């Protein structure tokens, strides 16, 4: 069933957000199409605001879908809407999948992970581990508790449950006046376990106007999409040589009378690699993530930047296949330090040294590098979309 009963007041539009067009069709239709990618779907029920039921029925009928789709009037709260829809589910349905109408980008692999886990565990939801510190804050604006980050997940939809479990949990909650934040909270309150499987960073919930821009961009990427299992990125970095600084390249201190000027350790090698990887994954650039205006980055080792960029790629579903770097410098001679550079950078990126290539050249005195005024680094990176994970978390 698809929960589409929200009024969407936070979006600031005349129509609820599930009916606003995204890439030429209402958000609701995108979400419906995603659900219908799953095998063994025998029925779809959409819970809607009462005054949108007739219009949505006509919209659905025009699609010529093979799976029967029924529109029902939603309730005052999301849980009421879900309960009304569940009462319309066929008696022979073994599993019930509940999805937000305003999550139009959930991929088939994520949905299948949820279904598979729910079949084994009784209930399952997709989730992403928290990447920032989450604080409990009092009404007066004071921090009162810091929950351990490793225990915190951002839970998405679709959420899937054995049909009898969800029916019993919703009926019990209604009789006792319990109101959960989502279906999994109701099922857990009723005493049933719920597993968490890996969610998707692209499975965004449209809440604010900017979310439409993000969703449209992601839809465009997906349309090119499944074909783009591999991505290539390019990165370049230049730093001036100055007195009184250590020369750090690839995380290695190279003995020389000058070093590279910069806010961090000015490791042009590492910075170029960061930009190549971020560019390949379309995640911005090093200046966006590690600005030189931030005091915490002053003198910081750029190998730490590489580790954080690697983590960003992993969260976004990418695996690093190889990195190739060319250093341009007239002096000093860099080849004797390549082995240590390769070892340190490969370690920071979680790849083998065989996946890390380093070269050096000069510019024959024709530019700033050739005149000994600076050093530049040029990097190319190849990444691959991560294969779907199948680990379940209790």
Percent of the chain with pLDDT over 70: 94
pLDDT at 392 over 50: no
Selection from 141, 350, 338, 313 nearest residue 252 by Cα: 338
Reported for 281-289, long-range contacts at CB under 8 A and 24+ positions apart, including other chains, are 281/231, 281/233, 281/312, 281/313, 281/316, 281/318, 281/383, 282/221, 282/231, 283/312, 283/313, 283/316, 286/235, 286/237
Q: Are 59 and 29 in contact (CB under 8 A)?
A: yes
Render pLDDT for 42-54 as a digit per residue (tens, 0 to 9).
999 999 999 999 9
DSSP percent split of the chain into helix, strand, coil, nearest 5: 35, 25, 40
Greatest Cα-to-Cα distance within the chain, rounded to the nearest angstrom: 83
pLDDT of residue 221: 73
**Interval 243-298: pLDDT, tens:** 999 999 999 999 999 999 998 999 999 999 999 999 999 999 998 899 888 888 88
How many other CB atoms sit within 10 Å of the CB of residue 77? 12
Note the pLDDT tens digit of each residue in 101-113: 999 999 999 999 9
State the average pLDDT over residues 51-74.
92
CA atoms of 311 and 13, how far apart (whole Å): 36
For residue 1, which of 76, 86, 60 has the smallest C-alpha distance? Answer: 86
Please state, in angstroms and rounded to a whole number, the distance separating the CA atoms of residues 43 and 163. 13
Q: Which CATH architecture has domain 230-385?
A: 2-Layer Sandwich (3.30)
Q: Check if the beta carbon of residue 57 is closer than 8 Å to that of residue 28.
A: no
Please compute, for residue 10, the number of CA atoms within 13 A of its CA located in the half-sphere on the CB side. 8
pLDDT digits (tens, 9 = 90+) for 200-213: 999 999 999 999 99
Give the model confidence (pLDDT) of 114-171 as tens digits: 999 999 999 999 999 998 899 999 999 999 999 998 899 999 999 999 999 999 999 9
| Per-domain boundaries in the chain | 2-225, 230-385
Instruction: Kindly tell me the sign of the dihedral angle through the C-alpha atoms of 333, 339, 340, 343.
Output: positive
Domain 2-225: CATH superfamily, name plus number: Spore Coat Polysaccharide Biosynthesis Protein SpsA; Chain A (3.90.550.10)
**pLDDT score for 171:** 97
């Amino acid at each position: 069933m698809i929960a589409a009963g929200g009024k969407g007041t936070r979006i600031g539009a005349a129509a609820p957000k599930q009916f606003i067009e995204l890439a030429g069709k209402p958000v609701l239709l995108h979400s419906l199409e995603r659900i219908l990618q799953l095998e063994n779907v025998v029925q779809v029920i959409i819970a809607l605001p009462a005054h949108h039921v007739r219009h949505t029925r006509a919209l659905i009928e025009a699609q010529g879908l093979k799976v029967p789709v029924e529109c029902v009037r939603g309730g005052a709260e999301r849980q009421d809407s879900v309960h009304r829809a569940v009462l319309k589910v066929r008696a022979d349905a073994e599993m019930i999948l509940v999805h937000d109408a305003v999550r139009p980008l959930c991929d088939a692999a994520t949905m299948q992970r949820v279904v598979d886990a729910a079949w084994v565990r009784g209930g399952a939801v997709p989730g992403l581990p928290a990447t920032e510190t989450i604080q409990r804050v009092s009404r007066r604006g004071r921090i009162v508790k810091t929950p351990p980050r490793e225990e915190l997940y951002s839970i998405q939809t679709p959420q899937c449950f054995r049909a009898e479990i969800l029916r019993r949990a919703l009926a019990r909650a209604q009789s006792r006046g319990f109101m959960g934040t989502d279906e999994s909270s109701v099922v857990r309150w009723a005493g049933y376990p719920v597993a968490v499987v890996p969610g998707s960073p692209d499975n965004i919930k449209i809440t604010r106007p900017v979310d439409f821009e993000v969703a449209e961009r992601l839809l465009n990427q997906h349309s090119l999409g499944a074909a783009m299992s591999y991505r290539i990125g390019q990165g370049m970095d230049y730093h001036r040589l100055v007195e009184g600084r250590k020369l750090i390249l690839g995380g290695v201190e190279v003995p020389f009378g000058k070093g590279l000027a910069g806010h961090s350790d000015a490791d042009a090698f590492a910075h170029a690699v960061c930009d190549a990887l971020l560019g390949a994954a379309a995640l911005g650039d090093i200046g966006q993530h590690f600005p030189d205006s931030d005091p915490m980055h002053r003198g910081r080792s750029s190998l730490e930047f590489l580790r954080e960029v690697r983590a960003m790629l992993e969260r976004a579903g990418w695996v690093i296949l190889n990195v190739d770097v060319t250093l341009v410098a007239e002096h000093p001679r860099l080849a004797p330090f390549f082995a240590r550079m390769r070892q340190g950078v490969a370690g920071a990126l979680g790849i083998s040294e065989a996946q890390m290539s380093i070269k050096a050249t000069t510019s024959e005195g024709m530019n700033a590098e050739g005149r000994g005024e600076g050093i530049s680094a040029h990097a190319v990176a190849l990444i691959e979309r991560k294969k779907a994970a199948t680990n379940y978390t209790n």
